[in-house]
């Protein structure tokens, strides 16, 4: 059975209306899900935040972040302002610098990455959106550089005669500009001498002692041996690491000998120690002499050179089992390229603190052996201060050592036998002998 002809057009119109409603619904759903990607988005693109300036050390990595809302179908580009060189457009890198790359997420966060930043990378970087008119914002890349010394403008090790003057220079580059300070490696203070106004360099100076000196130039005048050593030039600008340079100052002077005791007394059979203190720079050749013959280590002599500092040496001569032929004058000698010097020590014999041998005595000697004491022991027993020899040494600055005083013999009182007692004994013996002879004569007569 056929449908009426007037019903078919109505059905077709209903089908077309349903199709239009479905299409409209799809468009609305798409607008709700992707509002920024359809027809340029519902809103014009805009920056969500400013680009933060970036400061990095030379050789580190830097990243700029550009935040964009409602980007839609527009694109983001990166530009270096000073050179007008395009770095990247959207997710494509344009520059030939292989250290530059880009990344993004959700069409909102756009990043420009620069690896191993160099000094030439410093400057303004622009994030652009290709709207009409164009929208953009910029961020500054600052490159800081740790300090580094300029070799051709920095001093090296110095040699100077004592009493002279020296100027040490230390210059460094870096961003920001480094500050320079000086210290001594051994921790001692730096001596700064500045002439008074109107006075010559060799006249009196104003002297200050500082643990740290600031400035590129360090001037040392009237330099002494005590100022010899290593000086540290330190450059710092707040960018790690700080750097330092060691500069050695060698102060040269001819040898000087200090003798603590020029007069030494000792008993025979004992060990004796003689010593001299030598100061010299450059280092000196040091040795002992007696009777114009050099003394070397042997069974009887022990020679030692003990280094106290860079320019000080303690000379020690030990004489074992002192004999009569060992007494006399000893000389300590020091020589270097600037001069030579010698000093004398006289060694003499004294009575020694030894125990005497005692002979067998009658039984009525009921007492201990006699003992011999040196002067020091006597004074200790009597609670007296030790005697001191005020002999003047070769150089001022060292105390003299006490010179031994001849020993004194001390013993206990012993019982004595009187002369009268001996005479009585002899008389009694004589009488007994006479009586015995008379008895023998009488027996013969009978």
pTM to 2 decimals?
A: 0.63
Query: 280, 256 in Cβ contact below 8 A?
Result: yes
* CA–CA dist 402, 400 (Å, integer): 7
Beta-strand pair 109-114/100-105: antiparallel
Which fold is adopted by the domain 150-195+205-253? Immunoglobulin-like (2.60.40)
Question: What's the pLDDT at 205?
Answer: 83
| DSSP code for 284 | P
CA 84 to chain centroid, in Å, comes to 52
β-strand partners of 334: 286, 341
Residue 418: pLDDT band (50, 70, 90) is very low
Query: 288, 317 in Cβ contact below 8 A?
Result: yes
Domain layout of the chain by residue ranges:
46-143, 150-195+205-253, 259-349
* Mean pLDDT, residues 403-428: 41
Digit-coded pLDDT (tens) for 67-106: 999 998 999 999 999 999 999 999 999 999 999 999 999 8
3 state DSSP class of 112: strand
- CATH code of the domain occupying 259-349: 2.60.40.10
Question: What's the pLDDT at 295?
Answer: 97
Residue 134: pLDDT band (50, 70, 90) is very high
CATH superfamily of the domain spanning 46-143: Immunoglobulins (2.60.40.10)
Pick the range with the lowest mean pLDDT from 139-148, 299-308, 345-354: 345-354
| DSSP code for 227 | G
β-strand partners of 250: 159
* CA–CA dist 303, 248 (Å, integer): 32
β-strand partners of 64: 112
What sign has the CA pseudo-torsion 377, 383, 385, 387? negative
Sheet with strand 109-114: strands edge to edge: 46-47, 62-69, 109-114, 100-105
* CA–CA dist 128, 50 (Å, integer): 12
């Amino acid at each position: 059975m056929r449908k009426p002809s007037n019903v078919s057009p109505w059905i077709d119109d209903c089908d077309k209306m349903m199709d239009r409603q479905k299409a409209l619904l799809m468009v609305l759903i798409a607008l709700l899900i992707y509002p920024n990607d359809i027809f340029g988005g519902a809103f014009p693109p805009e920056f969500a935040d400013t680009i933060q300036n970036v400061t990095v050390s030379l050789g580190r990595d830097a990243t700029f972040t550009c935040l964009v809302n409602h980007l839609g179908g527009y694109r983001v580009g990166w530009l270096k302002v000073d050179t007008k060189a395009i770095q990247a457009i959207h997710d494509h890198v344009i520059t030939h610098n292989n250290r530059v790359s880009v990344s993004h997420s959700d069409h909102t966060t756009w990043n420009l990455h620069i690896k191993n930043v160099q000094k030439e990378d410093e400057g303004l970087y622009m994030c652009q959106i290709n709207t009409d008119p164009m929208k953009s914002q910029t961020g500054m890349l600052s490159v800081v550089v740790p300090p580094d010394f300029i070799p051709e403008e920095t001093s090296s090790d110095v040699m100077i005669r004592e009493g002279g003057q020296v100027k040490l220079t230390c210059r460094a580059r870096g961003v920001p500009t480094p500050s320079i300070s000086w210290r001594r490696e051994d921790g001692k203070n730096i001596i700064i001498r500045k002439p008074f106004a109107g006075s010559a360099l060799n006249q009196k100076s104003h002297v200050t002692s500082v643990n740290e000196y600031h400035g590129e130039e360090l001037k040392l005048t009237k330099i002494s041996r005590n100022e010899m050593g290593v000086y540290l030039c330190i450059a710092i600008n707040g960018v790690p690491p700080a750097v330092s340079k060691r500069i050695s100052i060698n102060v040269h002077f001819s040898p000087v000998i200090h003798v603590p005791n020029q007069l030494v007394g000792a008993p025979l059979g004992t060990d004796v120690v003689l010593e001299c203190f030598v100061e010299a720079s450059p280092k000196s050749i040091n040795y002992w002499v007696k009777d114009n013959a050099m003394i070397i280590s042997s069974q009887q002599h022990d020679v030692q050179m003990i280094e106290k500092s860079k320019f000080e040496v303690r000379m020690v001569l030990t004489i074992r089992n002192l004999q009569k032929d060992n007494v006399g004058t000893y000389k300590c000698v020091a020589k270097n390229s600037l001069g030579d010097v010698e000093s004398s020590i006289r060694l003499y014999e004294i009575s020694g603190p030894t125990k005497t041998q005692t002979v067998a005595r009658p039984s009525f000697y009921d007492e201990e052996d006699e003992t011999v004491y040196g002067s020091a022991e006597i004074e200790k027993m009597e609670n007296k201060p030790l005697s001191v020899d005020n002999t003047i040494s070769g150089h001022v600055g060292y105390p003299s050592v006490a010179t031994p005083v001849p020993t004194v013999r001390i013993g206990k009182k012993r019982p004595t036998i009187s002369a009268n007692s001996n005479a009585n004994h002899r008389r009694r013996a004589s009488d007994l002998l006479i009586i015995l002879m008379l008895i023998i004569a009488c027996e013969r007569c009978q």
